[in-house]
Amino acid sequence: MMTKRMSAGDGQQPPGACSNNNAPPLPPPSTTTSMTISSKPTLITTPNLRFLIMDAPRQSNLHLYIKECRRHHVTDIVRVCEPTYLGAELKSAGIELHEMAYEDGHSPSEEILGRWLDLVEGRFFGSGGGGSKDATIAVHCVAGLGRAPVLVAIALMEFEKMDAVEAVMMIRRNRRGAINEKQLQYLEGYKCRRGGGGGGCACVIL
């Protein structure tokens, strides 16, 4: 039973979003953001896990995100919103792109949760990590404040035995405005899917 409560983050996700419909054509490059990263990626680390939370790259500045990913030994990028860039450049850089889009303002489906937890478990606890302690999974939504941090919080709860408040506090300390009140409520009611972790999850023992 949770005894701690938290208020919503300083910011909300920008409207607009992601859907699971067929992706529209890529938007034209922005002249103001073509050579910059709009929001600095945030590294979240524990003894067992490494995540890089980002906003969405655009085709015109993707090379800057790839450079940042290389600095942090990123092996995989999880995209949870509609495409704003093509994946070929990531493949050339040795980074695998995983499509796990879910709708803005909603919680991830069981199918998305299963794929996300499989990736995290395989990369950090199985043969997928190649034994490297520095392997990192990058994950992004539009602004890197909602859907992407929610997935990272779930991983912290599942594999590092954190409760929802601990996971959210850890993320917010490093990424201001992440995770709004509705998303926090979802995390507080989250039930562990994996038996090996999630001491703070609302696990049901039959």
Active site residues: 104, 141
Dmax (CA) of the chain:
57
Supply 159's token pair.
């594999």
| CA 11 vs CA 139, 145, 158: distances in Å | 19, 8, 26
Supply 99's token pair.
């499509």
Nearest to 124 by CA among 191, 70, 45: 45
Q: What residue ranges in the chain does DSSP mark as E strands?
A: 42-45, 50-54, 74-79, 96-99, 136-140
Supply 86's token pair.
């093509």
| Contact partners, residue 121, CB within 8 Å, separation at least 6 | 159, 194
Nearest to 160 by CA among 198, 187, 194: 198
- How many whole angstroms separate alpha carbon 144 and alpha carbon 114? 21
Angle, CA 189 vertex, CA 195 and CA 192 arms, to 5°: 10
Looking at residue 92, its amino acid is S
